Amino acid sequence: MNILISGSHGLIGSALASLLAGRGHRIVRLVRGLPNSGPQEVGWDPQARTINGRALEGVDAAIHLAGESVARGRWTAAKKARIRESRVESTRLLARTLAGLTRGPRVLICASAVGYYGHRGDEILVEESAAGQGFLAEVCLAWEAAAEAARQAGIRVVHLRTGLVLTPTGGALAALLPLFRLGLGGRFGSGRQWMSWITLDDEVEAIALALGRNTLQGPVNLVSPHPVTNQEFTKALARVLKRPAVLAVPGAALRAVIGEAAGELLGSQRAHPARLLAEGYTFRHPVLEAGLRHLLAAGPAHSASA
């Protein structure tokens, strides 16, 4: 297949592009500005609402992963505007462009997040669960709705409601490792909040599954079937590293340091991958501690395997 990927140089996108290319697919990268490395790059500027639509004729599938980082930086008004616009407007631009093609793709797979559900305590969240409240829930709701033009054009649309993606090469786990290796790790707040997680290997394998399953559409929870509380997560990581994890970061202190974004570390989402399991997906790493041991044994060069 000819597969278009935005965000192909990001944490998930780079691993996914490598996986799919290794399986014989042709990867076309959607890049900001003018392409500079030949026919396998297509330029776009989501902020200016421009895209080279003619170059997208004939792609078989599109995977949209681009967006402003939620984890980096304090959530100022300007940062929140960039988070929302980079997701909602870029998705709307891509969906409308694909919908207008003469030879458009059969499927559009768009990133989303378990943040869709807001903070829900111990409630088990499946794809049919209602949207929650809060900034990220509102962003995810608008983000998913922005793909409507593609859906109306008959393109199968999948929304990847991804949890915390674990890899030592980036993201939250890479940020936590130095502290935990020094014995300075510990729970956030009460530690009772649920964390929905998935290894990078399973993330990209699940996306590959979504590419080929015509029965899979709408929201799909990309999370392990065994979520853990924040306290369980920190204890498991400490055991794997053979370090203590007795410290705790009080919620008030976390809010004072990083502001509104602290709510995402203190909030609780107990998501369940009902649709992936119904499609017969077998997780490589369904259990946290075993998954962490695999990731950390593989070393810093670990990436998703083809």
Tens digits of per-residue pLDDT, 54-106?
Answer: 999 999 999 999 988 887 777 889 989 999 999 999 999 999 999 999 999 99
pLDDT interval class at 42 (50, 70, 90)? very high
H/E element holding 206? helix 200-212
Q: Which domains, and CATH codes, for the chain?
A: 2-297 (3.40.50.720)
Sign of the dihedral through C-alpha 250, 139, 77, 68? positive
Asked if residue 98 lies in contact with residue 104, where contact means CB atoms within 8 angstroms, the answer is: yes
For the chain, the distance separating the N- and C-terminal CA atoms, rounded to the nearest angstrom, is 16
Predicted model pTM? 0.92
Sign of the dihedral through C-alpha 124, 129, 135, 139? positive
Give CA–CA dist 166/21, Å, rounded: 22
Best CA proximity match to 117, nearest among 108, 127, 109? 127
Bridge partners (DSSP) of residue 31 are 43
Q: How many CB atoms lie within 10 A of CB 124?
A: 12
Give CA–CA dist 221/136, Å, rounded: 16
Best CA proximity match to 159, nearest among 224, 211, 108, 83? 108
pLDDT score at 255: 67
Distance of CA 257 to the CA centre of its chain: 25
